[in-house]
Structure 1
């Protein structure tokens, strides 16, 4: 299906990561993101208002999230906590999508922490610390 979609032009390119192939080195999604797609991840998410979709088990999704945060920090010349705030904004804007399976415990604690972080980010925005976070580009906004 993937090859067919690529031949039809649905995908510009397909990169694969296999961690369970016998007699082959393990390659993970986060390896590909970090080594081959870092600049593109930053450009698409931060400059072009693109979306990211992560689907898999909770451990993989957490590793991908941490990798994306490091990429945004490095490529965007920001601190790691600022990159975390950016990911929070992407989630609030429904541009960072996760379809995660696996065991999740302490749901109330996690939900509370996310809400607190979101309010913290809004407060920092009001102080001018995160100027672009809640300001969607308007018709007069120059393109990057």
Structure 2
């Protein structure tokens, strides 16, 4: 990462961790991705934006492999996703060969605009839902 994108990552992550995510996690309509902490083994819930297509949920990580939830997925791809207030079990797949900018065009507009504006290393993720 360049110095500028590293600074952007630190500032956005700090804002999300301390202000945006705690508020968003409380909203019943917010989509949450639950991973298992790779060190702690505890559930980690991250507000995300994305869309269900068939039996898969698609999202784009704004910081790619630097995102803690992406690192948790690498350690254990079994996840849960809360969509419309209902939890779904699934298996997450990191898709570095997918075009994340093109993918964002098919996902909810507001979240996609924020990911494009604040992201520095976009990465597409597909969660294959089991139920």
Task: Tell whether the structures are fold-level matches, with TM greater than 0.5.
Answer: no
More contact order relative to length (CA 8 Å, sep ≥ 6): 2
- What TM-score do you get using the length of structure 2 for normalisation? 0.27
- What TM-score do you get using the length of structure 1 for normalisation? 0.25
Higher strand share: 2
Higher helix share: 1
